Homo-oligomer: A and B are copies of this chain.
Amino acid sequence: MSLEVVSTNLAHGGVQGVYKHASAATQTDMTFSVFVPKHEPGEVLPVVWYLSGLTCTQANVTEKGEFRAACAELGLIFVAPDTSPRGVEVADDPDGAYDFGLGAGFYVDATQEPFACNYRMWSYVTEELPGLLAQNFPVDRTRQSIMGHSMGGHGALTIGLNYPDRFRAVSAFAPIVAPAQVPWGQKALSGYLGEDQAAWRRHDAVALIEDGARVPDLLVDQGDADTFLAEQLRSHLLEQACADAEIPLTLRMQPGYDHSYYFISSFMADHLRWHAERLKA
């Protein structure tokens, strides 16, 4: 599978790259970024997946995430995929809304037309991109973890809960924890997966936990000044589900923080240290 190098820049002693490839999963070109810290020849490194939120591409976290200093210090590869297929022939929200279609793939494989052809972000993030990464970067596939923000926090939680043997750590910044119970999620899951809510449960962190999915522990940071908290994020639903399932959840309500990358970057190094402890255990 051929990989086009969009850009590489030396940063914090490692290489921050942006790459493009023709995706079999989405039938479009896909762009992603990878930071590889300085390492010995032949050495393989643990990898942290970062899934972004609504409206974002790989660029937002790459430019504003403040992850490179900690990844360099801890020896972690950091991968950031895009949030949806893109291109003029890719179906979008009929009204051009920001919360569905382009920039809003919700990390599912769509079954509904006209989205089923391209909107296969679940397969892309869980199958295709991991393979591509292993072929092209010095990753240790036995040491992977996943984190994300907002819609990407939803992605990290649901992928982490579906693949507990693959990911040694799962964390999130301001995640959508129960998409079936909030407007953003209801719009996306019905649009991509249809009205049968049974098909939604594999893509809803709270439902997955109710249905028996387990991870060793979870770390979630949530700003209490986040304007999406009450209607869309509702972290207390995850708190309740984890309590019922006896999953140790560290939910930190961060006073005064909002939903922006100013919030994410403030706690990024904390999350990476938490991941590194579990990746190197």
A residues engaging B (CB < 8 A)? 9-13, 16, 63-64, 66, 68-69, 223, 225, 256-258, 260-263, 265-266, 269
Contact (Cβ within 8 A) A10 B262: yes
Contact (Cβ within 8 A) A16 B64: no
A–B pairs, 13, beta carbons within 8 Å: A10-B225, A10-B256, A10-B257, A10-B258, A10-B266, A11-B262, A11-B263, A12-B266, A16-B262, A63-B261, A66-B68, A66-B69, A68-B266
Which residues of B are found within 8 Å of A10, using beta-carbon distances? 223, 225, 256-258, 262-263, 266
Nearest CB of B to A255, in Å:
8
Oligomer copy total: 2
Which residues of B are found within 8 Å of A269, using beta-carbon distances? 69
Known: A69-B269, A265-B68. A258 touches B63 (CB 8 A): no
In whole angstroms, how far apart are the Cα atoms of A90 and B240 in the complex? Answer: 58
Nearest CB of B to A19, in Å:
16
Contact (Cβ within 8 A) A258 B9: yes
* A11-B266, A66-B66, A68-B265 given; 17 more Cβ-contact pairs under 8 Å: A9-B258, A9-B260, A9-B263, A10-B225, A10-B256, A10-B258, A10-B263, A10-B266, A11-B262, A13-B266, A63-B63, A63-B64, A63-B261, A64-B64, A68-B266, A69-B69, A69-B269
Nearest CB of B to A119, in Å:
29
Give me the 5 closest cross-chain CB pairs, A-B, nearest first: A9-B262, A11-B262, A10-B256, A12-B266, A10-B257
In whole angstroms, how far apart are the Cα atoms of A64 and B256 in the complex? Answer: 22
In whole angstroms, how far apart are the Cα atoms of A12 and B66 in the complex? Answer: 11
In whole angstroms, how far apart are the Cα atoms of A10 and B63 in the complex? Answer: 18
Contact (Cβ within 8 A) A11 B265: yes
Residue of B nearest to A269 (CB): B69
Residue of B nearest to A255 (CB): B10
Nearest CB of B to A7, in Å:
9
Which residues of B are found within 8 Å of A16, using beta-carbon distances? 262
Which residues of B are found within 8 Å of A69, using beta-carbon distances? 66, 69, 269
Residue of B nearest to A72 (CB): B266
Residue of B nearest to A14 (CB): B266
Residue of B nearest to A65 (CB): B66
In whole angstroms, how far apart are the Cα atoms of A266 and B37 in the complex? Answer: 12
In whole angstroms, how far apart are the Cα atoms of A112 and B243 in the complex? Answer: 71
